Chain A
């Protein structure tokens, strides 16, 4: 845990009244749970008593005091799902993962949760994995769902998905194009930028397809690392004052030739992005 990170988060919300939930929420977005030291640090920085913070953290089910897995599975055992065998599905999930509801697998891959309703009663029994809804789940489906989650549910089929279109970007400082036609990613020219993190320098090639998150990099950037992006032509750092709405890391701006600015999150693995069209 980094005390500086906590301090930045607290300072950002210091002026507002009743900002405790926002602070805790942002800490959880950073660490995926609320570490004990972080709560103690927040207590010291805000002047609120530790028990008040702990009370809020234990009151809301949204907050977790234990580290959670990469993938979140919620199985509905509410009334409508229960009568259609939600409990059996939940038991199957428990059996497949080898943990009880509310626990995380030892390899930190899955966190299993039983929930009372997911608001999709007509589709019961329902399970939600990483924000993806699975309807009318059968006992035999569970294994498939978990396998797909391991592969990554957010993978998109570039060729068939209508939402995906190529964009053409340039450096916001020197206006030099960042496109690299000599290296294709997803079958289109890639966006090439230089990067640095923890004294390591390299390059990143991003897919120019809007909606695709395919990234190639040299060297490999570990997940959750915040990376500094540079223009390969003028060597200026691509940086803005805005921070990612999902994880709080800095945003990287690029000019879109079609008109507008795209900002992507500088954290590896985070999919936060903003597109301002002009």
Chain B
């Protein structure tokens, strides 16, 4: 067992596990896009950044690839981490403005604007599909091609691969190709208003059919007061 401090809480976790696994086991939420249990950690999306160390030596590392160390001091939601995450999400949004998962995460993390040009790349090069194809489906049909700006994921020569069984595993795990609901504002950069709303009257018998989505809801407040 390895002893470390996560958000000021002294804990001991299994030696060799990653910071992400340890934090999630203890209930500290860390958002991820390129992490999936059963696939090797890759550290591509950078969303799982946490701050380790103290004072001027503190630095941001990706928790999905960082193994726990004895005496490690981890902060999963410090100001620096939250700001870094917001920036990463904003950049990811610029790459894939239409992806539901990224939109939802951006909305949940308080990204309220989009300062970058929208690229509509429909791929964040997280490599989830590549690892899925290689490690779980044992097919190795798709992979990274090219370098730098022209890096892309696909089959060799963009032809139908002989080893692909069209299992659909790549689509299943893809965080970018599930389109978001655009509702009425089709071109809005940041949508995702619905993620933050819960109908508060649902569990009250009197307002059963009136899902008002308002929070705080005046009717509920009145009823509560009258009780």
B145: contacting residue among A36, A54, A61, CB under 8 A:
A54
**Chain B residues, Cβ within 8 Å of A60:** 147
**Chain B residues, Cβ within 8 Å of A130:** none
* B207 close to A (CB within 8 Å): no
The stretch of A44-52, A159-167, A264-272 in contact with B is A44-52
Could you tell me if B146 and A39 are in contact, using CB atoms closer than 8 angstroms? no
Number of A interface residues, CB 8 Å?
A: 13
Tally inter-chain residue pairs, CB-CB below 8 A. Answer: 35
Min CB–CB distance B32 → chain A (angstroms): 25
A55 to B142 alpha-carbon distance, docked (Å): 10
* B39 close to A (CB within 8 Å): no
Among A113-137, those with CB < 8 Å from B are: none
Among A20-53, those with CB < 8 Å from B are: 36, 39, 49-53
**Chain A residues, Cβ within 8 Å of B212:** none
Residue with the highest number of chain B CB atoms closer than 10 Å, among A39, A55, A60? A55
A51 to B129 alpha-carbon distance, docked (Å): 13
Could you tell me if B163 and A55 are in contact, using CB atoms closer than 8 angstroms? no
* A58 close to B (CB within 8 Å): yes
Min CB–CB distance B212 → chain A (angstroms): 52
* B168 close to A (CB within 8 Å): no
* B143 close to A (CB within 8 Å): yes
Could you tell me if B146 and A51 are in contact, using CB atoms closer than 8 angstroms? no
* B199 close to A (CB within 8 Å): no
* B12 close to A (CB within 8 Å): no
Could you tell me if A39 and B147 are in contact, using CB atoms closer than 8 angstroms? no
A49 to B139 alpha-carbon distance, docked (Å): 9
Min CB–CB distance A62 → chain B (angstroms): 12
Interface SS of chain A: helix
Could you tell me if B141 and A51 are in contact, using CB atoms closer than 8 angstroms? yes
B146: contacting residue among A49, A53, A58, CB under 8 A:
A58
A39 to B157 alpha-carbon distance, docked (Å): 11
**Chain A residues, Cβ within 8 Å of B155:** 51
User: Which partner residue on chain A sits nearest B163 by CB separation?
Assistant: A49
Could you tell me if A59 and B146 are in contact, using CB atoms closer than 8 angstroms? yes
Could you tell me if A52 and B146 are in contact, using CB atoms closer than 8 angstroms? no
A36 to B156 alpha-carbon distance, docked (Å): 10
Could you tell me if B145 and A55 are in contact, using CB atoms closer than 8 angstroms? yes
A52: contacting residue among B143, B157, B161, CB under 8 A:
B143
A59: contacting residue among B140, B147, B157, B161, CB under 8 A:
B147
Could you tell me if B143 and A51 are in contact, using CB atoms closer than 8 angstroms? yes
User: Which partner residue on chain A sits nearest B152 by CB separation?
Assistant: A58
Could you tell me if A58 and B140 are in contact, using CB atoms closer than 8 angstroms? no
A259 to B163 alpha-carbon distance, docked (Å): 58
Min CB–CB distance B150 → chain A (angstroms): 8
Could you tell me if A55 and B157 are in contact, using CB atoms closer than 8 angstroms? no
Could you tell me if B140 and A52 are in contact, using CB atoms closer than 8 angstroms? yes
Q: Which residues of B contact A (CB under 8 A)?
A: 140-147, 155-157, 161-163
14 further A-B contacts with Cβ under 8 Å, apart from A50-B156, A50-B161, A51-B140, are: A39-B156, A49-B163, A50-B162, A50-B163, A51-B143, A52-B143, A53-B156, A54-B143, A54-B145, A54-B156, A54-B157, A58-B145, A59-B146, A61-B147
Q: Can you name 27 A-B residue pairings with CB atoms under 8 Å?
A: A39-B156, A49-B140, A49-B141, A49-B143, A49-B163, A50-B156, A50-B161, A50-B162, A51-B140, A51-B141, A51-B143, A51-B145, A51-B155, A51-B156, A52-B140, A54-B143, A54-B145, A54-B156, A55-B143, A55-B144, A55-B145, A58-B146, A58-B147, A59-B146, A59-B147, A60-B147, A61-B147
